[in-house]
Structure 1
Amino acid sequence: MNIEERELKIISDFMGKSDWDLILSTWKMEVDYFGINLDDFFIEITSNHIDPESAVKMCFLWQRDQLKQRTDELLGQLSNRTTSFIKRGDCLSSGERNTMTYLSKVKHDHEQVIALLIGASLRSRFNRYPVDQWPSRIAIEALYELIQSYWDQSLGSKPWHSACSSVLPVINQDYGFSINTLSGLILYLASEHCKLLSKYNLVQVVVK
């Protein structure tokens, strides 16, 4: 068995007969258990004190318990026309902010949101891969390519710069868990997404 054949076997053993529908149902099963509704993650703040072009760039990730305070601060800044000095209220890296922007673009399509979240979780591990805890990286990269094929084409094939070390702001501590199966991995990543979805809101400014 040559190298290519060995790699194909590794991928086949990991993926089995799983497809996107099975991955999707596994993810939903875990998230639904915690009573999380994807629509509740996305919040829109309306304002007539900003032009549409600037509003597109207004995308923030705020903790839920700070939502009212942050909203009042932002609306005050917008009404005073101080958009050059907007206090974001988050500390996202460029890769993480890109992810939030992508999510805001596809928020009305839950499958797109889920595919992006899973892809972002996998992409966040590529620069610090948990070799001893996760399946072969070859298999995970194959899974990443499968997930990527379901993304909206407007995001392109490489939505994150290669230098981005993190593209999701909430990440599990991988080194405490051992994962051997695809279903186990998807459940594990879904638990990661539950932390993000339950603690934060993705906030957009829209023109009234």
Structure 2
Amino acid sequence: MIAIAIDRAAQFRAQMQGITARLPSELVDSHLALYSSYVQEANRLWEELHALSHPPHVEKAAVPVSESLAEKKLRLAETLAAVRNHETYFGMLGRSPEDQRGPGGKLQAFLCRDFGSVDNYKADLYASALAASSGWAWTVLDHVSGKLFNFMSVSESGPILWHVTPIVALDMNPHARGEIFSDPQEYLDAIWEIIDWEQVERRLPRGA
């Protein structure tokens, strides 16, 4: 059966080799290990739910709405959301701290259009992340309005939001900051310095 999630930890680790000056390798490794555990759990739940929905040697079997089924479906949604959130987070990291380039091109134009300036965007993103405390903050493109906006969640998996494309994700959970970043502001500054803005811009849908 095709897996619902693919472990991309090795790809992310290679991509982030140049950022250890801001995020220590041991912190990156422990965070990637957590991500891998989410991938494994998502695939396990996917297989278990497939087995419940397709019992062997029984055609068109009705699936009882059991507590186990409900729990597994809810847990799969939460775990898969955690997988995708971490992939959005890790996938945008990799810019060398010595590279001082910020958002440019179409992304810069969008940020200036919807926030007034890149500085205003950064301030709003930071405010959203700090409000999330031990959750997540995202920058998303809303396909209905065509606008970029920041929102946050206090949970690990985050809310389900339709018709948007996430382009930036900030993991504010303690496991992401480790002991080295007891001050969330310092953590945000470190992440900002290693965001690959060209990669972020590539996440904007064509025609946006």
- TM-score over 0.5 (shorter chain): no
TM-score by length of 1: 0.28
Give TM-score scaled by structure 2 length.
0.28
Larger relative contact order (C-alpha < 8 A, sep ≥ 6)?
1
